[in-house]
Amino acid sequence: MHYPWWHVPFLTAPMLIAIISVLHVVVSHYAVGGGIFLAAETRHAYKTNNKSYLAYLKEHAWFFILITVVYGAITGVGIWWTIGLASPLATEVLIHTFVFGWAMEYCFFILEIVAAFIFFYFWGKLSPKTHQLTADIYAFSAWMSLVIITGITGFMLNPGSWPQNHNFWAGFFNPQFVPQVLARTGGAFLLTSLYVYLHASFKVKDPELQNLIQRRSARPALLGAIFIVIGGIWWYLALPESAKYALAAASVLNVLMVLVFALTAAVFIMMYLGPYRNPGWLSPGFAILFFACGLAAVTTGEYIREAVRKPYIVYNVVMSNQVLPEEIPGLKQNGYLEGGRWTFAWITGNYPQAVDSTTIDENKLLTLPETDQRKIGEVLFQYHCNDCHSAENGFSPVGHMIRGWTPEMIKTVVEHPEKSHFFMPPFCGTPQEAELLAKYMAGIAPAHPRGMNYGLER
């Protein structure tokens, strides 16, 4: 409500954030795990003087840079662009709270980029010791970027004691910090092996080199799977109470939780019995199957992490509808439309007869023609509800959720959504605004499907 709302039809703006974020995460994890892999395997190749393996690692480094530096940088900027438009208040809070952390992350990111380019473009021009050092610098910098960003994303789910003291380190070392670092590091190791298999299955023709790559690459994946399971269990134990209840109340999230662990276990077993114990399985089809399982596990985990934050974007700090919890009493008393500069300006421009200086007379809004009341209700919906719901069609459409409801049922839920579903934020407006919103929603609620009279109609 502090910012103009960026409306994305059908999909909703937060879902656009989710799509871009997932597309970035599956590569940013590879940027971390792949850097560690290249550092470790380059050291091994130099130590054993394996020139064919070194040649492959150089080829893989080019693939690695194209994916992580080019594609990863574009999607990373895309995340900032979309969250700044779709979740401006939450973005503002995170920037102000962690400005020192972001500065550290940017320094490590620059170090990453410089080290990656030196590592690849000066291959064969540096001494093995110096070349290895650039790989180590990249690996450390990339992992530190993961650590810093994880501290901030963990804060969004459980900020710990930060709301009481606003201490930077209390917010950064939150209850979710260690389990998420562990799980994300594991995910980085696991995904890296799958990226290596995918690349090597198409590029490597020598059976002996293929077997070496399979055995060497299986180790980080096996370790990563263990980290994911330990971190995932710890993540659940460190959830705030509302997040645990949200997880328990949503059957789809329970199914997805099982799916994450099942896919991780399946990849672990196939990795152990195949590439690790019996190298020779490497083929494009097998590598694609492996890669798809890894992507499914990571994207499912990201979806669950986002979904359990409701009714907050930042737990106990920013509500999911871009309202600070401490603002709710004032908005209920004075009005949601009046409390937002953009909603107030819209009412002033379209219905000046209902505005007196700096206040809105909601009773006058209820005397407007029905079409105008519903139009105002639509504005309330866009600002108050569209963070989680589309209107009639699209992601989590309210229209289909209230199909067949009576106007009285709709108004009851509008007035107290948090009592209908505890993972929804409370309505932040006056009774008159609730009536306006309920009229809009009643106008988009379809009737019961034909034939569903339950024997009550004659």
335 and 352 belong to one structural domain: yes
310-324 pLDDT, tens digit each = 889 999 999 988 899
In-domain check, residue 3: no
Same domain, 89 and 147: yes
Q: Which domain holds residue 358?
A: 325-444
Residues 227 and 367 in one domain: no
Q: What is the pLDDT of residue 260?
A: 80
Same domain, 137 and 96: yes
**Residue 280 and residue 347 in one domain:** no
CATH code (residue 366): 1.10.760
* All residues at 6 or more sequence positions from 140 whose CB lies less than 8 Å from its CB, including other chains: none
What is the number of structural domains in the chain? 2
* Spatial distance between the Cα atoms of 302 and 280, rounded to a whole number of angstroms: 33
- Pairwise CA distance, residues 192 & 169, whole Å: 31
Residue 215 lies in a domain: yes
Please check whether residues 304 and 360 belong to one and the same domain.
Answer: no
Cα–Cα dist 402/457, whole Å? 21
Question: Would 452 be classed as within a structural domain?
Answer: no
Q: Are residues 339 and 358 in the same domain?
A: yes
Closest CA to 67 of 23, 109, 33, 27: 27
Q: Is the peptide bond before 311 cis (omega within 30 degrees of 0)?
A: yes
Residue 395: what pLDDT? 82
Among candidate residues 269, 291, 319, the one where a domain is terminated: 319
217 lies in some domain: yes
Whole-number pLDDT of residue 458: 43
- The answer to whether 234 and 151 are in contact (CB under 8 A) is no
Domain boundary among 319, 348, 371: 319
Give the residue from 290, 319, 348 where a domain finishes: 319
Please tell me whether residues 269 and 373 are part of one structural domain: no
Residues 311 and 344 placed together within one structural domain of the fold: no
pTM of the full predicted structure? 0.88
Same domain, 401 and 296: no
Contact 52, 207 (CB under 8 A): no
Residue 453 contacts by C-beta under 8 Å, 6 or more apart in sequence? none
Task: Identify whether 453 is part of a domain.
Answer: no
Asked if 429 and 297 sit in the same domain, the reply is no
Residues of the chain with pLDDT below 50 are: 458
Rg of the Cα trace of the chain? Answer: 26
Same-domain pairing of 372 and 292: no
Residues in the chain: 458
Residue 312 lies in a domain: yes
Strand pairing report for 355-356 and 318-319? unpaired
Q: What is the per-residue pLDDT for 22?
A: 87
